[in-house]
Amino acid sequence: MGVSLARQPRMRRVGRQPAEQAAKTLGARLRALRKSQKITLVELAKASGVDIATISRIETGKMTGTLESHIKLATALGAKITEVYSGIEEARVKDAVTLQPATKRADVYVHDAGKFSMAMLTTDILKKQLMPVLITIEPGGSTHKEEARVGTEKFLYVLEGQVEAKVGEATHILKKGSSLYLDASIPHTLRNPGHALAKCLSVTTPPVL
């Protein structure tokens, strides 16, 4: 079964969680404050009473540290605790939104044998809770059978043409404007029984590749 990939993506581990992101922002802020005063890790450790290894791990985002250690470090640097925490909320908000222009479509999987393609409608799929995909099926074509892990759900909305959705032993005919919500752990396939191109929006949670 031949499958050609238009711009094949790298496999990624689940992305950083908010706490991990905050740790990196906090660490970068502490490091910047320390560097701006030309203070070494050893000097900061002596002045604050916080272990040098702990400071290093906080600065590199490997740990967040405690509020007590943050206050000690801020005091040793002559800064307010609010200065140390500066930028954390801004970074969270910035990463909370992903804009993808129509001219910069992300990864597109083209399956020759099944005569269908899947275009990812956002980037960094494994860092998100939803996986929006545009599925295009040629007349007579069909998707491969899918069976996700238990707890995975999928929503389908037909944009163009007609789609035949087989979920388990049941078959559902979906026309333009029709939608289907299903338990994606049940074996399912999509087929285009018509004579025109079929397109549907598929949203899966959590993302699976």
Give residue-wise pLDDT tens across range 153-176.
999 999 999 999 999 999 999 999
Closest residue by Cα to residue 116 from 149, 93, 140: 140
User: Does 11 score more than 60 pLDDT?
Assistant: no
Q: What is the count of structural domains for the chain?
A: 2
Give CA separation, 162 vs 2, 113, 140, 173, in Å: 25, 20, 11, 7
Residue 192 located in a structural domain: yes
pTM of the predicted structure, to 2 decimals: 0.58
Asked if residue 161 and residue 85 are part of one domain, the reply reads no
- Percent of the chain surpassing pLDDT 90: 56
Instruction: Return the CATH number at 131.
Output: 2.60.120.10
Asked if residue 175 and residue 78 are part of one domain, the reply reads no
Residue 88 located in a structural domain: yes
DSSP SS3 for 169: coil
Residue 12 located in a structural domain: no
